[in-house]
Structure 1
Amino acid sequence: MPPKDPINWMLSDAIETLARAERLHQQFLNLQPLAGSREPSWEPPIDVLETDSEVLIFIALPGVDPNEVKAVIDQGILVVSGHRVLPPELRNARILRLELPQGRFERRIKLPLGRYTITRFAANGCVGLRLARS
């Protein structure tokens, strides 16, 4: 089999990278109403870490109070939801750029089997959820 043409390989790689970026963008800004809701929602990015005693979830929600985030476990799925709204100081401002999504958000996260106790905390612009195994 002859070696791949570098131009075609680079073009193919660039197209795949653009397609992957578009998929991530659509996932992040999923403005379709979620099942059981009439209101459009977006999905914030997350990190999920597991230790022997807990599952830690960091949700990129700058400016959102952890106590205003709803977190419910339903049949092994953690459903995290709430609203991100403009701070009161910006309501009368002229917006030059608005990249952080506003409005209703919801994220569904499949959990490892177990029973959990949920604790919320703030961490460097993220809402943190500590799911201690019980």
Structure 2
Amino acid sequence: MEDQFPRQWMWSEAFAMLDRAERMHRQFVRPAGARPVGWEPPVDVLETERMTLVLVALPGVDPSEVLARIEGDELVVSGSRAYPPEMRTAVIHRLELPQGRFERRVRLPPGRYAAIERSSAHGCLMIALTKEA
């Protein structure tokens, strides 16, 4: 069992490095004419036989104000998080939630998708992509 720990740690570190490299690449390589992006929400991508489910962490963002579209082999999720009106008169002790325009491009598993369904739960936007038969 002790042999497993270093191997798991190495895989964990490798995935973290790949994630950082991908984020840096997205930050510096933007399509021509793309609007500036302030932050990228974290996502989970799950696949079943009939659909791909993308969970986007967007606490405090109205799901009806979020755009979701497929561009080539990517799902593009974009929108904006605004400061609450109370911010104008509040004493700020800590600000950790990102504000402003966000966009996240997620490479989708191979296949064709027939429909995009959106819902929300527990601060996440859930995007269900039904696979074409």
TM-score by length of 2: 0.72
Counterpart Cα distance in 2 of 1:109 and 1:38: 17
The total of aligned residue pairs comes to: 114
What letter corresponds to residue 37 of structure 1 in structure 2? A
Q: Deviations over 1:46-102 (max 9, x none)?
A: 011111111111111101111111011011211110001112233331211000100
Look at both structures and tell me which one has the larger radius of gyration over its CA atoms. 1
1:34 Cα offset (Å): 4.2
Give the structure 2 partner of residue 64 of structure 1: 61
TM-score by length of 1: 0.71
Give the structure 2 partner of residue 130 of structure 1: 128
Counterpart Cα distance in 1 of 2:77 and 2:37: 15
Identity among equivalent pairs (%): 48
Counterpart Cα distance in 1 of 2:29 and 2:88: 25
1:32 Cα offset (Å): 6.7
Counterpart Cα distance in 2 of 1:71 and 1:58: 12
- Worse overlay, 107-116 or 68-77: 107-116
Give the structure 2 partner of residue 87 of structure 1: 84
| Conservation of the 8 A alpha-carbon contact between 1:69 and 1:82 | yes
Give the structure 1 partner of residue 43 of structure 2: 46
What letter corresponds to residue 108 of structure 1 in structure 2? R
| Conservation of the 8 A alpha-carbon contact between 1:42 and 1:104 | yes
1:43–1:123 Cα change, 3 Å:
same
1:40 Cα offset (Å): 3.3
1:41 Cα offset (Å): 2.6
Give the structure 1 partner of residue 117 of structure 2: 119
- Worse overlay, 70-79 or 107-116: 107-116
Runs (4 or more) in structure 1 with deviation over 6 Å come to 30-33
